[in-house]
Structure 1
Amino acid sequence: MLKKEDLDVLIIGAGPIGIACALECKKQNLSYLVLEKGALTNSLFNYPLNMTFFSTSEKLEIDGIPFISNNPKPTRNEALEYYRRVTTSNNLNINLYEAVLNIDKTDFGFSVTSDKANYKTKKVIIATGFYDIPNPLNVPGEELPKVFHYYKEAHPFTLQDIAVVGASNSSVDAALEIYRKGGRVTMIIRGDAIGERVKYWVKPDILNRIEEGSIKAYFNSQIKTITPHDIIIDTPDGEKTLANDYVIALTGYQPNFKFLKAAGIEFSKDEKHIPKYNSETMESNIEGLYLAGVICGGMETHKWFIENSRIHAKLIVDHIVNKAPIGAKS
């Protein structure tokens, strides 16, 4: 049994990158524990049921463990199965449904307090992603139960008037799926076009549906007010009131900056809000506290993905094991 005071490394977040960090710690015979406030790979679990990744399966692999998919682009369910098998077959030390409350620097390293226990550890790795805090619309009525910042499946929206806010992959996928399940879909888009990053095999579909009028789209527009039965939007042609049953506001997400700041992490002063870390070791401005995965991008949530941040695990654990010179830079 692992004693709380014997940890070499405590990892916060059991997403793909947190799992990769655990695998590296295990290979190096470090005592470690992963704490996750939700389900295993909680962000992936909360993705839409029918979501397909942009990346191919080999780019989602961690520690060289093969990810076999039935299609060139793996699905959410295939990814859940893959990371679950990696975790269980390697018998990784992970506590699920245990939220970290505080990280305090001490003489021996860190004291980490969760909602269930207190841990002493020499090093801490934060790999919490950015999917837990939606970017708000900041409009009257956003608190109504008809407003969702996450989308799971289309069935509840059949025969309903639905406003989908945004023009990213998630917004486009939701709009197309709800339309095909019998929902009356209107897209409210701040810019003048569908997003540049929308999956290339999906983009023609949404453009054709908009052109033929199956899905209504208001470009250069935004919601002004949400009421129980309609929405008021600002458009280039003036204010419009639309009948509405549900609003699906897929306007992006952000890291838990409050949690990171409380741990002592510093950020860039611009709107990108990028945390300070050494790009060669992933160590933050706090000695012994490391950042891994998409949180390294701050508000640039499209900068880091599973495929290009897998290397963070090895960089961090190599630095811990080899005791390389410590220093932080942005």
Structure 2
Amino acid sequence: MQWDVVVVGTGPSGLATAINARQRGLRALLLERGQFAATVSRFPHDMVLYSPRDEVQLAAIPCDSRQERPTREEYLSYLARVAELTGLDIREQTEFVGLSGHDGDFTVRARHRGEPVSFSTRKLVLATGAFCTPLRLEVPGADLPQVRYGYGDPSAYRWQRVVVLGGGNGAAEAALRLHNEGRAHVTVVYPRGEFHSRKWRWHLPDLARLIQGEAIRVLFNTTVERVEPEHLLVSSRGETQRIPCDWVIVQIGFEPGKDVLRVAGIQYDEAGCPLFDPLTMQTNVPGVYVAGSLVMGAFENPLFISSIRHHGKAIISHVLGEPSPLASSRKADDAGKLLAGYEGLKDKLDLDYLLDLVPVVIGDLPYQWLDVFHPLLSTFGTEGDGPPKAWADRCILDMLPERHFRGGVDFKGHGVSPGTVRALRMADGKLRLGEILSAIEEEAPEAAQKGLIQSVLEDLLALLYQGKLSWRPTPLGRHDRLA
């Protein structure tokens, strides 16, 4: 079969591009040379993302982190959940190795577990990221086992002597976490005289305090000469010193994705920055696009998930022959400002799409809260000698003691409307959000349906954002995926 779009890379920008394609009725295939969301997987354990959860979500599906900024583990789980809910077609262990053909009729060549495979597609999007291949330390002894290009679990370095090489955000995060969580003795070696204004910006107050208190040692204007079994030989202003160390953590940057650009025939400069139109993300090869941090090459990357998740909107608009979403308000004479402008784009909340995708998980709610009020929720009442009145038409607030609500029923500190109580009870971890609202439509008086449904949606989404409820993929076989 011929795909409309083949996307190489399953990070946030690649997933967002494929989701945009599917929402617009296009057939999209994702290729990943390693495991799903490999770039995010390589982040250190329990690393906290720089961006808040509402700025890293895809397809308007809330990221249900229990804190303002998700951890690596939370975001990996979220990305997998988004891929399942949107029914994306993903081929892992499939490396892009070549391209032939022309715009509208490409053949993508790849290797799946070493075996050659090919895919026919109208368009190709490269979203492999800028953090796939770390820059190597090129000094004698760099191949010794204590030299690492990531640190994984900080607790593995407890009370040990660790030297961090680099002066960017990765080095800052490593130094801070190795000290705070790993209780390691940390020294930072940096070849320049001061940290760049854009580097260490996320951790600078904490790090400045630790450096001033000599809890973390920083050697400026210092270069590495050699790695020895228990020491690091460094040079500063012509003087050489030997630093005792058990581990060397290299955080000096990443190689730009020149290989993937070259095999696609895309032109790029010395820094690995591809030639592309920032309004459409199309490269010098018609029908081939770039997305995500790959577009910045080896430059200090000013792009974050909040921006790159919207690159796919420009790509799919161009594929469909539509104007760029930024074309009416941005000029293409400053590519940097234009790329930063993608951060201003927002996912339009398509309730029909969301309701079709998202099931609801109650978590501990039925056991710790709703069971207490279950008799009230399920009891039929009477008004005088009149007919029984179903619980769905009763107001739970009329039946609960005053202490149980603050402007509404209180659930984990959040005021919940009566309609949400009924909806949560109907869900019980089994119904999709759309099915819950359908049940409300059947139960509630017609005049009250619109307001009730809106209230339920607002309350449920608020609870999800606050981490008091969470999503769960529907059990296999219960619902068909999107066609």
The reply to whether TM is greater than 0.5 is yes
Once the two structures are superposed, the pairs formed by residues 16-31 of structure 1 within 5 Å of their partners are 16-31=12-27
Residue in structure 2 matched with residue 279 of structure 1 by the alignment: 278
Q: TM-score, normalised by structure 1?
A: 0.90
**Which region of structure 1 is more displaced relative to structure 2, 115-124 or 197-206?**
197-206
| Cα distance between partner residues in 2 of 1:123 and 1:303 | 27
The match for 1:46 among 20, 42, 53 is: 42
CA–CA separation in structure 1 for the residues paired with 2:246 and 2:127: 37
Matches within 5 A, 1:104-253: 104-106=100-102, 109-116=105-112, 117-180=117-180, 181-198=182-199, 202-236=203-237, 238-253=239-254
Structure 2 gap segments, 5+ residues each: 325-331, 336-483
> Do the aligned partners of 1:49 and 1:152 also contact (CA within 8 Å) in 2?
yes
User: What does the per-residue CA deviation read over 1:115-134, in whole Å, with 9 as the maximum and x for residues that have no partner?
Assistant: 12211111100000011111
Percent identity (aligned):
28
Q: In the alignment, is the contact (CA less than 8 A) between 2:125 and 2:290 conserved in 1? A: yes
Supply the AA of the counterpart residue of 1:277.
F
Tell me if structure 2 keeps the 8 A contact 1:294–1:301: no
- Structure 1 residue 301: deviation in Å? 4.3
With CA pairs under 8 Å and 6+ residues apart, which has the higher RCO, 1 or 2?
1
- 2:172 and 2:200 in contact (8 A); partners too: no
Displacement, 1:59? 1.2
101-110 or 176-185, larger mean C-alpha shift: 101-110
Aligned counterpart, 1:83: 79
- Write the letter of the residue equivalent to 2:145: P
Does the 8 Å contact 1:47/1:151 carry over to 2? no
Q: Following the alignment from structure 2 to structure 1, what is the Cα–Cα distance between the partners of residues 103 and 203?
A: 53
Which residue type is aligned with residue 64 of structure 2? I
TM-superposed deviation, 1:258: 1.9
What amino acid maps onto 1:280 in structure 2?
Answer: L
Q: How many residues align?
A: 322
Question: Does the C-alpha gap of structure 1 residues 207 and 285 become closer, same or farther in structure 2, counting only changes over 3 Å?
Answer: same
One-letter amino acid of the structure 1 residue matched with residue 106 of structure 2: F
Report how far residue 323 of structure 1 moved: 7.0
Tell me whether 1:318 sits opposite 2:314 in the alignment: no
What are the Cα deviations for residues 148-204 of structure 1, in whole angstroms up to 9, with x where unaligned? 112212122223221101122221222222223232211101222344335656322
Contact 2:169–2:201 (8 Å) recurs in 1: no
- 1:15 deviates by 0.6
Larger radius of gyration: 2
Which shifted more, 218-227 or 195-204? Answer: 195-204
> Given that residues 54 and 199 in structure 1 are in contact (C-alpha distance below 8 angstroms), is that contact kept between their aligned partners in structure 2?
no
Pairing of 1:249-268 with structure 2 (within 5 A): 249-268=250-269
Cα distance between partner residues in 2 of 1:199 and 1:159: 24
What is the Cα deviation at residue 87 of structure 1? Answer: 0.7
The 4+ residue runs of structure 1 with deviation greater than 6 A are: none
CA, structure 1 residues 224+90, in 2 after alignment: closer, same or farther (shift >3 Å)?
Answer: same
What amino acid is the match of 1:213?
Answer: E
Cα RMSD of the aligned pairs, angstroms, is 2.2
Are residues 1:32 and 2:25 paired?
no
Give me the whole-angstrom Cα distance separating, in 2, the residues matched to 1:324 and 1:204. Answer: 43
Distance in 2 (alpha carbons) for counterparts of 1:242 and 1:21: 47
2 CA distance for matches of 1:105 and 1:303?
34
Task: Give the helix-richer structure, 1 or 2.
Answer: 2
Residue in structure 1 matched with residue 343 of structure 2 by the alignment: none
User: What per-residue deviation string (whole Å, max 9, x for no partner) do you get for residues 222-241 of structure 1?
Assistant: 11111222111011361111
SS in 2 for 1:322: coil
- Cα deviation per residue 1:26-61 (whole Å; 9 max; x = unaligned)? 112212210011222111111011211221111112
Contact 1:158 1:182 in 2 (8 A): yes
Query: Is 1:95 aligned to 2:91, yes or no?
Result: yes
**Partners of 1:159 and 1:184 within 8 A in 2:** yes
- 1:96 Cα deviation from its structure 2 partner: 1.4
Q: Which is worse superposed, 15-24 or 272-281?
A: 272-281
Query: In structure 2, how many angstroms separate the alpha carbons of the residues matched to 1:217 and 1:15?
Result: 33
